[in-house]
Amino acid sequence: MSDPQFPRVLFVSSESRPFASTGGLADVSEALPNTLNPMGVQVERILPLYRRVWEGQSRHGYSLERTPHTLKIPLGGEVIEAEIFSCRHMGTLTYFVGCEEFFDRTELYALPHREYRDNFKRFLFFQKAVVALIDGLGQPYDVLHLNDWQTGMIPLLLDKGLNGTGRKRREKVLFTIHNLAYQGVYAATHLYETNLPGNVLNRYPEIEFYGQINLMKAGLVGADRVNTVSPTYAKEVTTEAFGCGLDGVIRALPEPIVGIVNGVDVDAWNPETDKTLPANYSRSKLADKEICKKAVVEEFGLKYQKDLPLFVLVGRLVDQKGVDVIAKAIEEMLALPLQFLLLGSGQEKYHKMVLEWNQAWPEKFAGRIGYDSDLSHRMEAGGDFFLMPSAFEPCGLNQLYSLRYGTVPVVNKTGGLVDTVTDVRKDPKGGTGFLMNAYTPEALLACVRAAMSLYHEPKELRRVRVNGMKQDVTWTRTAEEYLRLYEGMVTG
């Protein structure tokens, strides 16, 4: 039983591990509720019932059960049924909003070449079903924790109801920005599907954005509190450079935006117990990390050379992740005595570049297009340095995995990267990595050269690795900060 002093929370997200995932939001959606519940907080979760959720039951060890709730959801002139399923996994009760028309698809949000054309309608349906289920359960929640644009309309629906005729209760709402660049912007012609009274966009300034509907803005303006996933990103989004057109909205919020750094699953990401590795190691037994390095270099088809530092990159091959900066620096970088392994997928132009690099530097570079979870673990363990020169990074997880595995991060000075990596050059005793001083190929190369110098100072390298492995990257710390935020909303 939860302690009566703790708020009752419904965590609303468009994805969560192990059910359906495309990235970092799914990691947060799994870990945060699973960490809060053992602390005494009653957190339940709700997601769309994607095809992947059905397919993952045997593989991930959960079982869906049909609930007695069938909800009739109005969307403009239509009424569409939502079937509600549930399961309890890792101590957290999760509800799923089922509708084959909207969610029985191969992907969550988009095909390889475009997003689904009915995404506004799909996620409006999901959000209306969330409100309808809350009312149907008859057990009020104290706080709704909403995440990103796919949940941004919920505050307005809590006020206006499904048909725009009003609603008795208005729960407290926390809205978390995971990436402000993705806002859910749609044509004003979709407004009729909301059933809001009047159906005139200028009557709803909380969702209007240059004549269109902006669901991220709706969440920001409608929430009682807003947070994002690192303190530095919380400051950055108030500026024109990082605010993606919503910086003025964020600066005008009645309460300042809060930054809370994500954690990582320290059981899944643990070099001492990781079953995907050829050898396990710890900060007191770092020598066996070299076994992992040799194995992953050879797995990629390169010749293992102990005297060469190994740089690795695992991530999306998109502009945000700094691949454009790497592309401009690659020729000069690979002229240096080092090796570089890459795993990722994303924009087609970068796929072509990686294949070209494979041919141009076959003894120094090896890149694979795609994603392989086990291989990503082996790369984190085998790398000496992890490249993450992101243009912006709300929080970032790979630099946290790298710290955990004693792989020194080389990152851009932005967002959560600033909050989690301490530059060795500014703090030789406590440093954990290298921070670029600008988003340029020259700054990246300066960090690469500094990392190479560190590599050839074994005692200093060991100290930096141990510093990183000592960092508290657990979800417990993060969950405690969210709990304080929930409690402040309920009692404040």
CB 412 within 8 Å of CB 322: yes
Which pLDDT value is given to residue 305? 96
Quote the percentage of the chain above a pLDDT of 70.
99
Task: Tell me the DSSP string of 50-111.
Answer: -HHHHHTHHHHT---EEEEEEEEEEETTEEEEEEEEEEEETTEEEEEEE-HHHH-SSSSSB-
Which pLDDT value is given to residue 186? 97
Interval 352-382: pLDDT, tens? 999 999 999 999 999 999 989 899 999 999 9
Structural element, H or E, at residue 341: strand 339-346
β-pair type (172-177, 225-228): parallel
Q: What is the mean pLDDT for each group of 10 consecutive residues in the chain (492 residues)? A: 72 96 90 94 97 95 97 96 97 97 95 90 98 94 98 96 89 96 96 90 93 98 97 97 97 96 92 98 96 98 97 92 96 98 93 97 97 94 98 94 98 97 97 98 98 98 98 95 96 82
Which pLDDT value is given to residue 6? 85
The residues, any chain, with a CB within 8 Å of residue 458's CB and separated by 6 or more, are none
Which pLDDT value is given to residue 22? 85
Distance of CA 424 to the CA centre of its chain: 27
pTM for the model: 0.92
Q: CA angle 374-369-179, nearest 5°? A: 80
Domains recognised in the chain with CATH numbers: 8-263+476-491 (3.40.50.2000), 286-472 (3.40.50.2000)
CB 85 within 8 Å of CB 129: no
Which pLDDT value is given to residue 230? 96
Which pLDDT value is given to residue 113? 79
Region of 201 on the Ramachandran plot (φ > 0 left; ψ -120 to 50 alpha; else beta):
alpha
Q: Quickly count: other Cβ atoms within 10 Å of residue 98's Cβ.
A: 24
Interval 266-285: pLDDT, tens? 988 999 999 999 999 999 99
Which pLDDT value is given to residue 2? 43
Which pLDDT value is given to residue 199? 76
